[in-house]
Amino acid sequence: MRGKILHESRGRMRVRLAQRHMTPAQADILETWLAAREGVQRVTVYDRTCDVVIVYTGPRARIIRAIAQFRYALVPAEEVVPSGRALRREYEEKLASAVIRRAVSRFILPLPIRRIVTFLRALRYIWEGLRCLMRRKIEVAVLDATAITVSLLRGDTETAGSVMFLLHIGELLEEWTHKKSVDDLARTMSLGVEKVWMRTDGQEILVPLRQVQPGDEIVVRTGSMIALDGKVVAGDAMVDQSSMTGESVPVHKTAGSYAYAGTVVAEGECIVRVEKTAGHGRYDRIVQMIEESERLKSAAEDKAAHLADRLVPYSLGGTALTWLLTRDATKALSILMVDFSCALKLAMPIAVLSAMRQCSRSGITVKGGRFLEAVAEADTIVFDKTGTLTRATPRVAEIIPFDGRDPDEMLRLAACLEEHYPHSIANAVVEEAARRGLSHEERHSRVEYVVAHGISSAVDGERVLIGSYHFVVEDEGCQIPEERVFRHLPKQYSHLYLAISGKVAAVLCIEDPLREEAADVVAALRGFGLHTVMMTGDNERTAKAVAAAVGVDDYHAGVLPEDKAAFIRGQHDQGRRVIMIGDGVNDSPALSEADAGIAISTGAAIAREIADITISADDLYALLTLRRLSTALMGRIRQNYRTIIGFNLGLIILGVAGILPPTTSAFLHNASTLVIGMQSMTDLQ
C-alpha cells in the first residue's frame, strides 16, 4: 500500500494512503493488521480522509515497511476486530438526512405542499396513539398524537412539523444509543482465546487457535473457555452457557452434547470435536443474545421511561382542565406542546452510554448501565487476594524437597500438572520450570481439577496431588515427612504441596508480591465510604500479613468459594450493597452473587464471563476511576431529572399564564431536549 507521510514526530506518524475512498470495513481491516505489528503501540484509522495515525516504538523504517507491505487480502474476515465505525457512519448519515429534509420542507417547499407532507407524516404518530388507546393504555404516544392532531386541527402545521422533527431525531438518537451499546458490548465479549489444548495421537499439544481445523479435538477443563463450536466426544463437564443462551444454571455436557464457542467449563473437563472454526457466527449470536436481554438497561433508564409514561395522564388532564377553565385553546395547547418524555427518554440512556464509553477509555469494560449504578450505591467492597491485591504474576521463590528428591524433578512434575489450568500460581510454576530450562512432557493420565483445592492425576502409575495443605494433607490424608523441616517452612511465602503416592514429596514456596498501588487504592476506597474486606483461601498467617499491609477493614482466611458467596449473601441480608473483585475460578460464585462483580482481565475465563465489569488496566487505580465515574453518572442523572422537570414545568406555567404562545413553548421544549441530550453525551469528568 502506497502512502504519503503528512506529519511526523518522535514515535508518531500520520500517513495518507494512496486511495480515493475507504469503507468502514477496510478501515477495520487496516487497523487490525497494523495493531498486530511489532512496535505499534496505538493505531487510529480515519476512513473519511484515508489517514492513519500510528504511535510506535523502535525503528521508523519498520513502520514504513509495514505500511508498504499491507494488502487488504492479508487479513481473514474472522480476524477483523470491528470498531463500530460502520454503525456510527450509518447514523450520522441518517441524522444529516433528517436535518436536510427538515430544512428543505421548511424553507423551499411551497406552503400547500408543506401542509400535505406534514399531514402525511402525522398519520404515523396518530396511528401509534390510537393503537396505544386500543390497548387501554395512556402513554407518551397518546400525548404526541394529541399534540400533533390539535396543531393540525388549528391549522398550525409549523408546530406540528417541529414536534414530529424533534420526535424523529429523538428516535434516531435512542436507536443509535441502543445499537452502539450492543455493538460495544458484543466486541468486549470476544473470546480472547489465542491458544487451545489439541488432542493428537493420545497427547495434548498447546497450539494457536488459528491452526485448529474442523475435525480436530480440543481439551477444555475447569475455568477455561470453549473456543470453538463442536460436539463433545468424551468427558463430563458442567458448562456455563449464559453468554450464548441466557441460561443462569450450568448445563451438563457429556459425549454427544453440543458445545458452543464462548461458553465456559464451570466444572469438569471435556473433549470437543471442532465443527466450526473461529469467526463463524459468534458475533451475530452474541448480538442476538444481548438484544433479547434486559441486562443493558439501568434502573435509571427504566425509571425515566416509566416516569415519562406516568406523567402523560397529568398532561392530558391539565390540558382539559385549562380549556374548561379558560376556554382558551391556545393556553390548553401550550401544555400539549411541552411533554417530559423526549428529554427523559433520550438523556438517560445517552448519559449511561457516555459513562460506559469513558470507562472503556480507562481500561474498564462495563456490561450494562445498572452495574454502574450498583458501583455508585455500594457500601462494601470484597477483594480476593491472589491476583487482585497481589500481582497476577507470583513466582516460585524456593523448592523444599523431602526424602532426598531432586528439586528440579519436583518442579518439572508440578509444572506438568499445573500447565493445564489458567491461574496465576499455576502460571508461576510453569514459568519457573521454563526459566530453569526444564521440559515437562506429558507423562500423566487424566487430570482432575478440584475447585479451590488442587489437582489430582497419575504419573508412571503413581497418584500425584498438588494443591493446598487443606487438600493434600487434611482431605487426602497424605503423610508428612521430616516433621521438623515441615514445621519450619518459610512463613513469608504461600505454600503449594506436591504429594506422590500418599506422601508429601515437596513444598513449593510461592512469593506473591503485593501490588504497589494496593494500599493507596484501599485507603482511597475507604475514603469514599466503602467498607473494605479481603477474603482468601490462604492460611491465617499470610492473610493477616497482607491485610495489615494493604489496610483493609476486615479479612477472612482459609475460605472456600461457597464461603465468599455466603458472605456476600449475608451482607445483602443486612441491607448492604456489595462489590466483589477477583480473578480466579474460585471467585466465580461470589462475582455472580455480588451487586457488581469485577474481574481482572488477566484472570480465569469463567471469572471474566460471569463478572459484570472487567478491568484491563495495569493497576487497581481503575477501581477509583470506576467509582468516580459511577458517582458522577448518578449525579448527572439526578441533575437531568431536576433540569427536565423544572424547565418544562416552567414552560407549562408560562403557557397557561398566556405569557408564551404554543409555538414558542414547543421551540423552547425541543431546544432544551437537544441541549440536555448533547450535554449528556459529554465526558463526566
Q: Which residues are identified as catalytic?
A: 384
Residue 263: phi and psi, rounded to 5, are -90, 165
Cell numbers at residue 208, please? 494457536
Q: Give the number of other CB atoms < 10 A from CB of residue 371.
A: 24
- Paired with 4 in beta bridges are 16
Instruction: List the grid coordinates of 260.
Output: 458452543
Task: For residue 585, give the DSSP letter.
Answer: G
Strand partners, 514: 390
Name the residue type at position 129.
Answer: G
Give the C-alpha separation, 395 to 402, whole Å: 21
Sign of the alpha-carbon torsion through 374, 376, 382, 388:
positive
C-alpha cell at 73: 487480502
* CA–CA distance, 589 with 493 (Å, rounded to integer): 27
For residue 459, give the nearest of 437, 479, 442 by alpha carbon: 442
Rounded CA separation 73/23 (Å): 14
- Please answer whether residues 537 and 468 qualify as being in contact, where contact means their C-beta atoms are separated by less than 8 angstroms: yes
- The C-alpha torsion from 629 through 635 and 638 to 639, rounded to 10°, is -110
Using CB atoms within 10 A of its CB, is residue 534 exposed (0-12), middle (13-18) or buried (19+)?
A: buried
Residues 340-368 as b/e (b if ≥16 CB within 10 A, e otherwise) read: bbbbbbbbbbbbbbbbbbbbeeebbbbbb
Angle, vertex CA 581, rays to CA 576 and CA 586, nearest 5: 110
- State the greatest distance between any 2 C-alpha atoms of the chain, in Å, as a whole number: 104
- What's the order of all strands across the beta sheet hosting 613-615? 364-366, 613-615, 596-600, 578-582, 380-384, 531-535, 554-556
Contact call for residues 62 and 39 (beta carbons, < 8 A): yes
Question: In sequence order, which residues have a C-beta less than 8 Å from that of residue 66 and are 6 or more positions away?
Answer: 34, 37, 40
User: Which residue in the block uniquely carries the three cell numbers 468502514?
Assistant: 24
* C-alpha pair distances (Å), 318 with each of 45, 174, 385, 643: 53, 28, 59, 21
Name the DSSP letter for residue 256: T
Residue 354 to residue 683: CA distance in whole angstroms? 7
Beta bridge mates, 236: 269
Bridge partner residues of 235 (DSSP):
270
Judged by DSSP in three states, 215 sits in coil
Judge whether 333 and 154 are in contact, CB under 8 Å.
Answer: yes
Task: Give the chain's radius of gyration (CA, Å).
Answer: 31
Which phi and psi angles does 3 have, rounded to 5°? -165, 175
As a whole number of angstroms, the distance between CA 281 and CA 277 comes to 10
- Residue 210 CB partners (closer than 8 Å, separation 6+): 79, 278
* Residue 418, burial from CB neighbour count under 10 angstroms (0-12, 13-18, 19+): buried
- Is the separation of the CB atoms in 343 and 677 below 8 Å? yes
